[in-house]
Amino acid sequence: MPSAGVCMFQFIHAADIHLDSPLRGLERYEGAPVDEIRLATRRALEKLVDLALQKRVAFVIIAGDLFDGDWKDYNTGLFFARQMSRLREKSIPVYIVKGNHDATNKVTKSLPMPENVFVFSDAKPETFYIDDCHVAIHGQSFSTTAVTDNLSLAYPQAERDRFNIGVLHTCADGKEGHAPYAPCKINELVGKGYDYWALGHVHKREVLNEEPLIIFPGNLQGRHIIETGAKGCTLVTVDERNRASAEAIELSVLRWEHCLIDVTGAASEDEVIQIISSELGKLLIVTGEIPLAVRVEISGACAADAIVRSRLEHFINQVRAVATDISRERIWVEKVKIKTTPQSAGLAGGAYDSPADAVDATSLNLAEGPVGELMQMIAEYREGGARLAELRDELADLERKLPEEVKKSLGFQDDDFLKDILNDVQDMLLDQLAQAK
């Protein structure tokens, strides 16, 4: 371990910026704030650079998936280079490992970066040194889009008298919804003797270990309804005794949220709307001033169930209107999902976006026959792994044939986005079966 007396410093750990990745799903819905947030990932990166300059950090680490595959043109890379030049002016270096999305980017290799940007080798682990702070940063980039080897095993042991940081794009010991890239175990990382592990690939912030700190910072900006909550980076402070502490800093310019609302006992549509208005108001208080894309989901047994379902389009417009009114246009309702049931029946209902009676798998005997097989297939796809990969590959053939303006609003190569679509498919299936009864 490093000796005491090393200078105190701060650094930023970010990952999964997916620069210029479209915010999936927005353009499918009328009234979506597309123009305001089209460049959300750029604005989030600008805020990251602003933070680095404000805090006068010693360096910045980006743990993979800086880009989102091949760029449409050079503007993506030029924008990134401009932001890095802002850091160069204040002598702040940036250290990057390429992740699975970066490995597919052919343009990156031909675009020169400012001299303060250092990219780790994809052939073997490499170490960069920052002598002013007695720091050693170890890392290895992805050489292909699907690295399934445990890259961490080849990382060197910690160097004495330095603060050691490991940078790794990895699924760690496996994370739901993420491809099993560069898997490793926590005890293997701890065994290297490093003082901090800067991980990337998982889009939800998670602290895997306290001593030493092993952290997924999450992605910089949520891109669709699966990526909910605050998004940003981790600000790490190292004290004079080389003890590291970490603080999550929100940088997103738009936050996606689920608002689950219990309307049990509501007697009228107006009462349901009042409950929704109250819950959205609470969400505004909690989230502060950041704009919100919200999926509203109502559930519970209530007398208003039949009224709501019989005038679904009217009801959804009512929800959108009240959200706009109470938030002064800071809330955009991405979707309204209805899981209410008749108060007298008390049955478990499905989720519907069109009028239908409540339906459950048991009443429709979905465990048997072709419908049961279809439901089982959807469940297997949603579990991820090989089945979802097969679906993704099949959709890739379709995606290649689509016009560019259509492609940008789709997320066929995004596992989370695909799972959300599968949820909608199941809901629509249940809806159609209910109407056919």
Q: How far is CA 160 from CA 3, 134, 194, 351, 410, in A?
A: 8, 10, 10, 58, 49
| Neighbouring-strand partners of residue 129 | 136
What's the chain's average pLDDT? 82
Q: Is the confidence at residue 433, as pLDDT, over 90?
A: no
Residue that has been written with the tokens 């159609």 in this structure: 432
Torsion of CA 111, 112, 117, 121, to 10 degrees: 70
Rounded Cα distance between 344 and 380, Å, is: 34
For residue 345 the two structure tokens come to: 């029946």
- Which class would CATH give 9-250? alpha beta
- Alpha-carbon distance of 298 to 300, in angstroms, equals 7
Strand order across the 232-238 sheet? 117-119, 94-97, 59-63, 9-14, 232-238, 244-250
Q: For residue range 286-305, what is the model confidence (pLDDT) as tens digits?
A: 998 899 999 999 999 999 99
The ranges assigned to domains in the chain are 9-250, 255-358, 359-437
From CA 217, how far away is CA 198, in angstroms rounded? 8
- State if pTM tops 0.75: yes
pLDDT above 50 for 133 = yes
Q: What is the pLDDT of residue 176?
A: 60
Q: In what order do the strands lie in the sheet with 292-302?
A: 255-262, 292-302, 331-342
Is 134 in contact with 167 (CB distance < 8 Å)? no
Give the pLDDT confidence of 25-74 residue by residue, as tens digits: 555 556 666 666 778 899 999 999 999 999 999 999 999 888 876 656 67
**Mean of pLDDT values over 176-204:** 89
User: What is the pLDDT at residue 238?
Assistant: 96
pLDDT tens-place string over residues 263-273: 999 999 999 99
* Tokens (6 digits) for 305: 């169930």
| Angle of helix 269-287 versus helix 312-327 axis, rounded to 10 | 40
Dihedral angle computed from the Cα positions of residues 50, 55, 60 and 61, in that order, rounded to the nearest 10 degrees: -100
For residue 198, give both structure tokens.
Answer: 């800067």
The answer to whether residues 200 and 63 touch, using CB atoms and an 8 Å cutoff, is yes
- Region 401-418: mean pLDDT is 59
